[in-house]
Amino acid sequence: MITTNVTTEKDVKEFAHRMMVDHTKLTVQLKMAAPRGVAVPKDNSDPAVLDALKPLKGKAFDAAYIKTVGVDGHQKAAAAFQKEAQEGQNSELKKAATKALPTIQHHLEMARALAAKKGVE
């Protein structure tokens, strides 16, 4: 994972590792819930975001990662999972979204706390 190789900040590495582990579990759960013919991405990485992070180093990388992946990414994910949980057409996917939502919301809280600690707006 790009983050654990670039940052030297222990708390950013720990956050990134937790995201990697939890998101891998989430992807497996979604694949199991998805009906045949519905593709579930192998991960939730946005290639454009990752490309924008690649040239950054040190505090600039940490701030961009925390903001774009941590806070913004989890805000978007929470909204998408909330919508699926409330309005989804497939009962298994609705159930999976409902089950995953507390974890995603917790990740968002963790990201916001890390942003506050690091002075990232």
54 CB burial (10 A radius; 0-12, 13-18, 19+): exposed
Residues ≥6 apart with Cβ < 8 Å to 5:
none
Q: In this model, does residue 81 exceed pLDDT 70?
A: yes
Q: In this model, does residue 79 exceed pLDDT 70?
A: yes
Query: How much is the pLDDT for 4?
Result: 67
Decide: helix, strand or coil at residue 37.
Answer: coil
Q: How far apart are alpha carbons 104 and 76 in whole angstroms?
A: 10
The answer to whether the CB of 13 falls within 8 A of the CB of 3 is yes
Distance of CA 26 to the CA centre of its chain: 10
Distance of CA 94 to the CA centre of its chain: 19
Better-predicted residue by pLDDT, 21 or 2: 21
What mean pLDDT do residues 100-110 have? 96
pLDDT digits (tens, 9 = 90+) for 25-71: 988 888 888 776 666 666 666 788 888 998 999 999 999 999 999 99
Provide the whole-model pTM.
0.88
